[in-house]
Amino acid sequence: MTNYLEVKNLSKSFDSFQLHNISFTLPKGYIMGLIGPNGSGKTTTIKLILNMLKRNGGEIKIMGLDNVADEQKAKAELGVVFDTNYFSDDWQVTQVEKSISVFYPNWKPERFAEMLRKFHIAPTKKVKELSKGMQMKLMLACAFSYDAKLLILDEPTSGLDPSGAVLFREIIEEERKKGTTVFLTTHTMLDADWLCDRVAFLAEGSIAALDTPESLKERYSRKTVQVVYRKDGERVQRDFTTEELGLSFPEDIVSIHSQEPTLEEVFLKTTGRGLTG
């Protein structure tokens, strides 16, 4: 299996924060989420991957290339989106395309135009006239317009309204079908659960868990099912353990639900903290 991103024993020290020996691999065609609250080290990890920060230790390879020694060649196949606008405020959207497209031989004007239509972005608008959510959509439109082999997205649904978030997920599914590899950071468990083939839980600079969403939820499941039924005309709810499943269920069952934890509950159990604060 070809890995498009390899991070081994990555560390970075600041005065008040440390990233501790982060290790993971991202195979070609997979979507991976780095999940954690604000201040956990998600953006720091991305900046280290992109050689925007100097690491204190460890190794990073992008599509087999060292991210420092072969930086320009490694970055040529990347699409990157940060959670803050990096375009000039006075640029019109058409100027954004003109300025960005020169760096990418595979830039597709028709794809960019399609993304603008999908995100309802007027080409004549200036960047400063766009809301934060619309600026995020513009950055995403750029990243999706030149067939990047590896997308690195920092909090991509930050600032998006619900319809924008749904559209983003649909586009990511399209990219998955094309074989695009995606590495994203988020504190939104819905994105992680719906989109990611594997997730890493990051808390206080360390990875607390790394697996598929399904495996993590199964590992921390209470192994019970919830049965809702009627008894004497009243609606009754009861949880059954796996040992009790061999017993006869009450009659007139209304619904049965498995009781696996949510991904956010697993995060809380593995890291000892929530995603806010």
Q: What is the pLDDT of residue 227?
A: 81
Read off the pLDDT band of 27 (50, 70, 90): very high
- Per-chain mean pLDDT for the chain: 89
pLDDT for 159 equals 82
Identify which has the larger pLDDT, 166 or 26: 26
Both ends of the chain: CA-CA distance in Å? Answer: 38
Q: What is the dihedral of CA 210, 213, 218, 219, to 10 degrees?
A: 10
Tokens representing 251?
A: 């009659």
Specify burial of residue 249 (Cβ count, 10 A radius: 0-12, 13-18, 19+): middle
Structure confidence at residue 255 as a pLDDT band (50, 70, 90)? low
pLDDT at 83 (0 to 100): 84
**Amino acid (1-letter code) at residue 236:** V
Alpha-carbon distance of 246 to 78, in angstroms, equals: 53
Mean pLDDT score, 184-207: 91
Mean pLDDT on 7-31 = 95
Report d(CA 71, CA 62) in Å as an integer.
9
pLDDT of residue 249: 56
Strands (E) across the chain are located at 3-13, 18-27, 31-35, 57-62, 65-66, 78-81, 150-154, 181-186, 198-203, 206-211, 224-231, 234-241, 253-258
In this prediction, residue 219 carries a pLDDT of 84
Q: Does the structure show a pLDDT above 70 at 245?
A: no
| pLDDT above 60 (res 274) | yes
Q: How far apart are CA 101 and CA 124, in angstroms?
A: 17
DSSP string of 88-106, one letter each residue: -TT-BHHHHHHHHHTT-TT
What's the pLDDT at 250? 59
Please give the pLDDT value at position 265. Answer: 79
Rounded Cα–Cα distance for residues 257 and 92 (Å): 51
What average pLDDT does this structure show over 214-226?
A: 81
